[in-house]
Structure 1
Amino acid sequence: MTVVSVESSTTSTALVLPFEVASARTARRRLAADLRAAGVASDDVHDAVLVLSELVGNALRHARPLPTGALRVTWRRHPHQLEVSVTDGGGPTEPRPLELPASALGGRGLAIVDDLSSRWGVRRGGRTTTVYAVLDLTHESGLAPGRS
Protein backbone atom coordinates (compact mmCIF):
# COMPACT_ATOMS: atom_id res chain seq x y z
CA MET A 1 0.00 0.00 0.00
CA THR A 2 1.46 3.31 -1.05
CA VAL A 3 0.73 6.54 0.76
CA VAL A 4 0.74 9.27 -1.85
CA SER A 5 1.61 12.01 0.64
CA VAL A 6 1.67 12.78 4.35
CA GLU A 7 1.48 16.10 6.20
CA SER A 8 1.91 15.79 9.94
CA SER A 9 2.38 17.90 13.06
CA THR A 10 2.07 17.12 16.75
CA THR A 11 -1.72 17.60 16.63
CA SER A 12 -2.75 16.88 13.04
CA THR A 13 -2.15 14.50 10.17
CA ALA A 14 -3.27 14.53 6.54
CA LEU A 15 -2.82 11.48 4.32
CA VAL A 16 -3.43 11.32 0.60
CA LEU A 17 -4.15 7.69 -0.17
CA PRO A 18 -5.04 5.69 -3.28
CA PHE A 19 -8.78 5.31 -3.82
CA GLU A 20 -8.76 1.62 -2.89
CA VAL A 21 -9.92 -0.62 -0.06
CA ALA A 22 -6.41 -1.11 1.36
CA SER A 23 -6.31 2.61 2.17
CA ALA A 24 -8.82 2.09 4.99
CA ARG A 25 -6.37 -0.16 6.81
CA THR A 26 -3.52 2.29 6.29
CA ALA A 27 -5.60 5.17 7.67
CA ARG A 28 -6.80 3.15 10.68
CA ARG A 29 -3.29 2.04 11.64
CA ARG A 30 -1.80 5.51 11.32
CA LEU A 31 -4.61 7.14 13.33
CA ALA A 32 -4.36 4.54 16.09
CA ALA A 33 -0.58 4.95 16.30
CA ASP A 34 -0.83 8.77 16.40
CA LEU A 35 -3.48 8.76 19.13
CA ARG A 36 -1.67 6.19 21.27
CA ALA A 37 1.57 8.16 20.96
CA ALA A 38 -0.34 11.24 22.18
CA GLY A 39 -1.58 9.39 25.27
CA VAL A 40 -5.23 9.16 24.19
CA ALA A 41 -7.12 6.49 26.13
CA SER A 42 -7.77 3.16 24.47
CA ASP A 43 -11.59 3.53 24.37
CA ASP A 44 -11.27 6.82 22.53
CA VAL A 45 -8.71 5.36 20.11
CA HIS A 46 -11.09 2.50 19.27
CA ASP A 47 -14.02 4.87 18.72
CA ALA A 48 -11.95 7.17 16.50
CA VAL A 49 -10.63 4.28 14.43
CA LEU A 50 -14.16 2.93 13.93
CA VAL A 51 -15.49 6.33 12.86
CA LEU A 52 -12.61 6.88 10.43
CA SER A 53 -13.09 3.40 9.02
CA GLU A 54 -16.78 4.09 8.36
CA LEU A 55 -16.00 7.42 6.67
CA VAL A 56 -13.35 5.88 4.41
CA GLY A 57 -15.60 2.91 3.61
CA ASN A 58 -18.47 5.22 2.67
CA ALA A 59 -16.21 7.27 0.41
CA LEU A 60 -15.00 4.14 -1.37
CA ARG A 61 -18.53 2.74 -1.76
CA HIS A 62 -20.53 5.83 -2.59
CA ALA A 63 -18.22 8.47 -4.07
CA ARG A 64 -15.68 9.08 -6.76
CA PRO A 65 -11.96 9.63 -6.20
CA LEU A 66 -10.46 13.09 -6.19
CA PRO A 67 -9.25 14.23 -9.63
CA THR A 68 -5.83 12.80 -8.71
CA GLY A 69 -7.36 9.32 -8.27
CA ALA A 70 -6.93 9.47 -4.49
CA LEU A 71 -8.77 10.39 -1.30
CA ARG A 72 -7.62 12.60 1.55
CA VAL A 73 -7.89 11.52 5.18
CA THR A 74 -7.21 14.01 7.97
CA TRP A 75 -7.42 14.24 11.72
CA ARG A 76 -6.77 17.07 14.14
CA ARG A 77 -6.51 16.65 17.87
CA HIS A 78 -7.75 19.43 20.15
CA PRO A 79 -7.44 19.36 23.95
CA HIS A 80 -10.74 17.47 24.45
CA GLN A 81 -11.85 16.61 20.91
CA LEU A 82 -10.71 14.93 17.75
CA GLU A 83 -11.93 15.81 14.26
CA VAL A 84 -11.53 13.18 11.56
CA SER A 85 -12.46 13.77 7.94
CA VAL A 86 -12.38 12.14 4.53
CA THR A 87 -12.37 14.13 1.30
CA ASP A 88 -13.33 12.52 -2.01
CA GLY A 89 -14.59 13.53 -5.43
CA GLY A 90 -18.24 13.51 -4.38
CA GLY A 91 -21.05 11.19 -5.26
CA PRO A 92 -24.62 11.14 -6.51
CA THR A 93 -26.22 11.17 -3.03
CA GLU A 94 -25.96 13.24 0.14
CA PRO A 95 -24.29 11.37 3.01
CA ARG A 96 -26.93 10.70 5.71
CA PRO A 97 -27.77 7.97 8.21
CA LEU A 98 -30.37 5.50 7.00
CA GLU A 99 -33.28 4.08 8.96
CA LEU A 100 -33.04 0.36 8.28
CA PRO A 101 -34.86 -2.74 9.43
CA ALA A 102 -33.03 -4.87 11.97
CA SER A 103 -32.57 -7.56 9.30
CA ALA A 104 -30.56 -5.25 6.98
CA LEU A 105 -27.01 -6.46 6.33
CA GLY A 106 -25.45 -3.06 5.74
CA GLY A 107 -26.06 0.66 5.60
CA ARG A 108 -25.38 1.48 9.24
CA GLY A 109 -22.07 3.32 8.78
CA LEU A 110 -23.26 6.88 9.29
CA ALA A 111 -25.56 5.79 12.12
CA ILE A 112 -22.44 4.49 13.88
CA VAL A 113 -20.65 7.77 13.15
CA ASP A 114 -23.66 9.68 14.50
CA ASP A 115 -23.71 7.59 17.71
CA LEU A 116 -19.98 7.89 18.43
CA SER A 117 -19.43 11.53 17.53
CA SER A 118 -20.61 14.74 19.15
CA ARG A 119 -21.36 16.06 15.67
CA TRP A 120 -20.67 15.27 12.05
CA GLY A 121 -21.42 16.86 8.73
CA VAL A 122 -20.62 17.40 5.10
CA ARG A 123 -18.61 20.18 3.48
CA ARG A 124 -18.83 20.61 -0.28
CA GLY A 125 -16.35 22.52 -2.36
CA GLY A 126 -16.01 22.58 -6.12
CA ARG A 127 -15.42 18.99 -7.13
CA THR A 128 -14.90 17.64 -3.60
CA THR A 129 -16.97 16.41 -0.69
CA THR A 130 -15.61 16.19 2.85
CA VAL A 131 -17.43 14.21 5.50
CA TYR A 132 -16.17 14.98 9.00
CA ALA A 133 -16.91 13.84 12.53
CA VAL A 134 -15.94 15.39 15.86
CA LEU A 135 -15.43 13.02 18.78
CA ASP A 136 -15.21 14.09 22.40
CA LEU A 137 -12.11 12.69 24.09
CA THR A 138 -13.81 12.15 27.41
CA HIS A 139 -11.41 9.39 28.43
CA GLU A 140 -8.23 11.28 27.52
CA SER A 141 -5.56 10.75 30.14
CA GLY A 142 -3.60 13.86 29.23
CA LEU A 143 -0.41 11.94 30.01
CA ALA A 144 2.32 10.91 27.66
CA PRO A 145 2.58 7.14 27.13
CA GLY A 146 4.25 5.34 30.00
CA ARG A 147 3.67 8.20 32.47
CA SER A 148 1.48 8.05 35.55
Structure 2
Amino acid sequence: MGLVAGVVAGVGDDRLVDVQVVAAQLVGNAYRHARAPRRLRMHRLPDRDLVRIEVADGSSSLLPVLGRLDVPETGRGLLMVNRLSVNWGHLRADDRKTVWAEVRLA
Protein backbone atom coordinates (compact mmCIF):
# COMPACT_ATOMS: atom_id res chain seq x y z
CA MET A 1 0.00 0.00 0.00
CA GLY A 2 2.78 2.41 -0.93
CA LEU A 3 0.28 4.58 -2.82
CA VAL A 4 -1.70 5.11 0.36
CA ALA A 5 1.37 6.05 2.40
CA GLY A 6 2.41 8.55 -0.28
CA VAL A 7 -0.97 10.28 -0.37
CA VAL A 8 -1.21 10.58 3.41
CA ALA A 9 2.46 11.28 4.17
CA GLY A 10 2.97 12.76 7.61
CA VAL A 11 -0.25 11.35 9.04
CA GLY A 12 -0.25 9.30 12.25
CA ASP A 13 -0.15 5.52 12.07
CA ASP A 14 -3.74 5.08 13.28
CA ARG A 15 -5.09 7.27 10.49
CA LEU A 16 -2.81 5.59 7.94
CA VAL A 17 -4.19 2.18 8.92
CA ASP A 18 -7.77 3.46 8.58
CA VAL A 19 -7.05 4.73 5.06
CA GLN A 20 -5.34 1.45 4.13
CA VAL A 21 -8.27 -0.63 5.41
CA VAL A 22 -10.85 1.46 3.56
CA ALA A 23 -8.83 1.37 0.32
CA ALA A 24 -8.31 -2.40 0.62
CA GLN A 25 -12.00 -3.05 1.23
CA LEU A 26 -13.13 -0.91 -1.72
CA VAL A 27 -10.57 -2.49 -4.07
CA GLY A 28 -11.39 -5.98 -2.78
CA ASN A 29 -15.10 -5.43 -3.36
CA ALA A 30 -14.45 -4.27 -6.92
CA TYR A 31 -12.45 -7.44 -7.63
CA ARG A 32 -14.92 -9.78 -5.92
CA HIS A 33 -18.16 -8.32 -7.20
CA ALA A 34 -17.56 -6.20 -10.29
CA ARG A 35 -16.16 -6.39 -13.80
CA ALA A 36 -13.03 -4.80 -15.22
CA PRO A 37 -11.79 -2.25 -15.80
CA ARG A 38 -11.10 -1.33 -12.18
CA ARG A 39 -9.26 1.78 -11.07
CA LEU A 40 -8.18 3.18 -7.71
CA ARG A 41 -7.85 6.93 -7.25
CA MET A 42 -6.90 8.73 -4.04
CA HIS A 43 -6.46 12.40 -3.26
CA ARG A 44 -6.27 14.63 -0.23
CA LEU A 45 -8.88 17.26 0.48
CA PRO A 46 -6.60 19.55 2.52
CA ASP A 47 -9.24 22.18 3.25
CA ARG A 48 -11.26 19.46 5.05
CA ASP A 49 -8.30 17.35 6.28
CA LEU A 50 -9.67 14.26 4.51
CA VAL A 51 -8.48 11.75 1.97
CA ARG A 52 -10.96 10.64 -0.68
CA ILE A 53 -10.61 7.08 -1.95
CA GLU A 54 -12.42 6.19 -5.18
CA VAL A 55 -12.63 2.79 -6.86
CA ALA A 56 -14.23 2.67 -10.29
CA ASP A 57 -15.33 -0.54 -11.99
CA GLY A 58 -17.16 -1.72 -15.09
CA SER A 59 -20.35 -2.88 -13.36
CA SER A 60 -22.73 0.06 -13.27
CA SER A 61 -25.74 -2.06 -12.29
CA LEU A 62 -24.13 -3.76 -9.26
CA LEU A 63 -24.52 -1.13 -6.57
CA PRO A 64 -22.80 -1.40 -3.19
CA VAL A 65 -24.78 -3.01 -0.36
CA LEU A 66 -23.95 -2.55 3.29
CA GLY A 67 -23.20 -5.99 4.74
CA ARG A 68 -24.59 -7.71 7.80
CA LEU A 69 -22.78 -8.64 10.99
CA ASP A 70 -24.76 -11.86 11.31
CA VAL A 71 -23.15 -13.32 8.17
CA PRO A 72 -19.66 -14.18 9.44
CA GLU A 73 -18.11 -15.39 6.18
CA THR A 74 -18.71 -12.31 4.04
CA GLY A 75 -20.35 -8.94 3.91
CA ARG A 76 -18.29 -6.93 6.38
CA GLY A 77 -16.19 -4.86 3.99
CA LEU A 78 -18.60 -1.98 3.58
CA LEU A 79 -19.44 -2.15 7.29
CA MET A 80 -15.76 -1.36 7.95
CA VAL A 81 -15.81 1.37 5.31
CA ASN A 82 -18.92 2.82 6.95
CA ARG A 83 -17.31 2.75 10.39
CA LEU A 84 -13.91 4.18 9.40
CA SER A 85 -15.02 6.88 6.97
CA VAL A 86 -16.85 10.13 7.62
CA ASN A 87 -18.83 9.73 4.41
CA TRP A 88 -19.11 7.19 1.60
CA GLY A 89 -21.31 6.44 -1.36
CA HIS A 90 -21.32 5.72 -5.06
CA LEU A 91 -21.64 7.49 -8.40
CA ARG A 92 -23.16 5.67 -11.31
CA ALA A 93 -22.61 6.18 -15.03
CA ASP A 94 -23.89 4.22 -18.04
CA ASP A 95 -20.91 1.89 -18.25
CA ARG A 96 -19.31 2.10 -14.80
CA LYS A 97 -19.71 3.07 -11.18
CA THR A 98 -17.40 4.59 -8.62
CA VAL A 99 -17.59 3.71 -4.95
CA TRP A 100 -15.94 6.36 -2.79
CA ALA A 101 -15.15 7.06 0.85
CA GLU A 102 -13.66 9.98 2.74
CA VAL A 103 -11.44 9.29 5.75
CA ARG A 104 -10.42 11.93 8.29
CA LEU A 105 -6.67 12.46 8.62
CA ALA A 106 -6.64 14.16 12.04
- Answer whether TM exceeds 0.5 for this pair: yes
Task: Please point out which of 34, 44, 49 is paired with 1:77.
Answer: 44
2:68 corresponds to: 99
State the SS of the aligned residue for 1:40: coil
1:145 corresponds to: none
Structure 2 residues without counterparts, runs of 5 or longer: none
2:29 corresponds to: 58
1:129 corresponds to: 97
1:31 corresponds to: 4
Task: Give the Cα separation in 2 of the matches to 1:33 and 1:93.
Answer: 31
Task: Give the Cα separation in 2 of the matches to 1:91 and 1:109.
Answer: 19
Task: Please point out which of 53, 57, 70 is paired with 1:88.
Answer: 57
Structure 1 residues without counterparts, runs of 5 or longer: 1-27, 139-148
Question: 1:65-100, CA deviations, whole angstroms, 9 ceiling, x for partnerless residues?
Answer: 02xxxx211111122111001001016532021223
Q: What RMSD in Å do the two structures reach over aligned CA positions? A: 1.5
Residue 33 (structure 1) shift: 3.4
Question: Deviation above 6 Å: which 4+ runs of structure 1?
Answer: none
Give the structure with the higher percent helix.
2
TM-score, normalization: structure 2? Answer: 0.89
Does structure 1 conserve the Cα–Cα contact (< 8 Å) formed by 2:60 and 2:92? Answer: no
Larger Rg: 1
Task: Give the Cα separation in 1 of the matches to 2:39 and 2:102.
Answer: 17
Does structure 2 conserve the Cα–Cα contact (< 8 Å) formed by 1:75 and 1:85? Answer: yes
TM-score, normalization: structure 1? Answer: 0.65
State the SS of the aligned residue for 1:65: coil
